[in-house]
Amino acid sequence: MNMNTITPYDMVGGEMTVARLSELFYTLMDSEPAFKGLRDLHPQDLQASRDKLFMFLSGWLGGPDLFVQQFGHPRLRARHMPFAIGTRERDQWVACMQQAMEQADIEAGLRERLLQSFSSTADFMRNQPE
């Protein structure tokens, strides 16, 4: 890898911003009525979910691959299979992440590019017929 390559991880502001994004995401999910369906899929205590999102996003954005180091390959679809995920849950997840990115002050152009990737990944998580 070229050491001069600037990753999305670097562009968002590194570890501090990724941690803030993970915190904002779960704070919004836990407090906004619009995300109740998504919130209901999670355990009462969200700390482990926050930590895993932070570790996953770190590697997904091109930073340290913390999730893989601790848990192995993310296998996102398989890990989410026990949960009923349809278009409603997908759309709530994407909307929640969009708000979290806005509140984390991620630059608009980068936010739009990330949102496209998040949307594709969230759509891949769907496991319910529509």
Which domains, from first to last, does the chain contain? 11-125 (1.10.490.10)
Name the pTM for this structure: 0.93
The predicted-structure confidence for 53-82, as pLDDT tens digits, reads as follows 999 999 999 999 999 999 999 999 999 999
DSSP 35-70: GHHHHTTS-S--HHHHHHHHHHHHHHTTS--HHHHH
Res. 2 pLDDT band, cuts 50 70 90: low
Rounded to whole angstroms, how far apart are CA atoms 66 and 7?
16
